[in-house]
Amino acid sequence: MKILYSPASPYSAKVRMAARHTGLSVESEVVKTDDEPSLLIENNPLGKIPVLLQDGDSPVFDSRAIMQFLDRQSGGKLYPVDPAGRTQAEVLEALADGITDCLLAHVYERRFRPEEKIHQPWLDKQWSKVTRGLAWLEANPVSFTDGLTGGHIALAALTGYLELRFAGQWETFWPGHRAFITEFEARFPAYSEFKSRG
């Protein structure tokens, strides 16, 4: 199996950490989505990463589908068997991914629009969702009672992206991120290898 990814992508970081955590044999290959390489387009018509390739089988995309696939392939190493625990992990992943969506919308608005066409109310709305999400995490500290889950991995990927693109702008909304990352790294020492870069 192989994951097509970008070093800056938090969704790529998420699935690559998950693959490592499950112990499955999964290679990684960097692709540039702007170039729309045939390897990417032929395996995901949306041209988005990450994509998981399988020899002789259909590709898997997007990141949440890959997470569920890796969980099944590993015999349940990413999500608790207990329904309540699994739901909690999946909701945490949804929150982390939702905040990430807002951050990426923020980045793309500034990156791809001419300065005179940047829509500040849109940026403000996305940022308000980010800060509400982070405040929710602060008010509801993350538990590791069920061990390391896909939800924790998604949240660690988000934290790495916040550090990469928004340093100094978010930390006061979620001071508890330091305790979370300390606990996460204790359970996943390879975290620094997978943090978003670029």
d(CA 116, CA 96): 31
Give yes or no: residues 188 and 96 share one domain: yes
Which of helix, strand or coil describes residue 184? helix
Say if residues 15 and 70 touch (Cβ distance below 8 Å): yes
Domain residue limits at 130: 83-194
**Per-residue pLDDT tens for 22-44?**
999 999 999 999 999 999 999 99
d(CA 44, CA 62): 9
d(CA 124, CA 152): 27
Whole-structure pTM value: 0.96
Tell me how many domains the chain contains: 2
Last residue of a domain, one of 14, 44, 73: 73
Give yes or no: residues 45 and 122 share one domain: no
Give yes or no: residues 60 and 111 share one domain: no
Average pLDDT over residues 3-31: 97
Last residue of a domain, one of 52, 73, 94: 73
Q: Is residue 78 part of a domain?
A: no
The one-character DSSP state at 142 is P
Say if residues 133 and 98 touch (Cβ distance below 8 Å): yes
- Six token digits for residue 38: 């045939």
d(CA 162, CA 13): 13
Average pLDDT over residues 80-96: 97
Say if residues 7 and 198 touch (Cβ distance below 8 Å): yes
**Per-residue pLDDT tens for 113-135?**
888 888 999 999 999 999 999 99
Average pLDDT over residues 9-25: 98
What CATH number is associated with residue 7? 3.40.30.10
